[in-house]
Amino acid sequence: MDSRLLLGMQGTASEIGHISVDINGPRCECGNYGCLELYCSTPVILQRAKQEFPEIFDNNTHTRTDDYNLIFNAARNKNEDALKLMKQVAKYIAYGCVTLINAYNPDIIVIGDVLAQAGDILLPIIRETVAKRTIPELFSEVEIKFSALPIDPTLYGAAAIATDKVLTRPSDYLTSTAGKGGE
């Protein structure tokens, strides 16, 4: 916000996964009900895929990324169960985007992690859903896209927060490390 990271009072401002999208939904580990992450987080996608269409998985050991690629490729190859799951995931991601647009009026929303590998499947549905559920003037001014970062975006976020803290008040950082061998 205003060219600065929006962290919130306790540093949890980015926890949009705990926005409730179904007040009657299942209870989340955070204590809330129907949290967004219960419907479209990557662990939920993998769990549902293994329950609903286990035939795409073989008995070989895969990395997490490999498992998701099996799901995404099944959807690309018109597996109806995989397509249905991806459409549901896209709609819930869109509901989260609508909330962000209405609350913060951002100019860009970047969706990351392994879901970025399914952007071709998800993005059209996300954009269509967001367009139907937001004020047209707000929708026309926001870009929704998937991250192109090659590694875990959490690392980039952590680096950005650390850099922001140091650059905002470098003397505080230098003062706090001076007595600890930082001279």
Measured between alpha carbons, how far is 17 from 28 in angstroms, rounded to an integer?
10
Token output for 158:
């952590």
Q: What pLDDT score does 8 carry?
A: 79
The CATH class of 16-150 is alpha beta
How far is the CA of 123 from the CAs of 15, 43, 92, 162, 169, in angstroms? 21, 20, 12, 31, 39
Distance (Å, whole) CA 1 – CA 169: 18
Helix and strand numbers (H, E) in the chain are 8, 2
Q: How far is CA 44 from the centre of its chain?
A: 13
Q: Beta partners for 143?
A: 108
- What's the rounded Cα separation, in Å, for the pair 126 and 48? 20
104-125 b/e (C-beta count within 10 Å ≥ 16 → b)? eebeebebeebbbbbbebbbeb
Query: What is the reported pTM?
Result: 0.79
Domain ranges, ordered by start, for the chain? 16-150, 153-183
The DSSP call for residue 40 is H
Q: Which residue has 């209870």 as its token pair?
A: 27
d(CA 33, CA 65): 28
How far is the C-alpha of 161 from the C-alpha of 55, rounded, in Å?
42
Positive or negative CA dihedral for 146, 151, 152, 154?
negative
Per-residue pLDDT of the chain (183 residues; tens, 9 = 90+): 677 777 778 877 777 899 999 999 999 999 999 999 999 999 999 999 999 999 998 777 678 888 999 999 999 999 999 999 999 999 999 999 999 999 989 999 999 888 999 999 999 999 999 999 999 999 999 999 998 876 555 666 666 667 766 777 777 766 655 555 554
Q: How far apart are CA 142 and CA 168, in angstroms?
A: 28
CA dihedral 149, 153, 159, 160 (to 10 degrees): 80
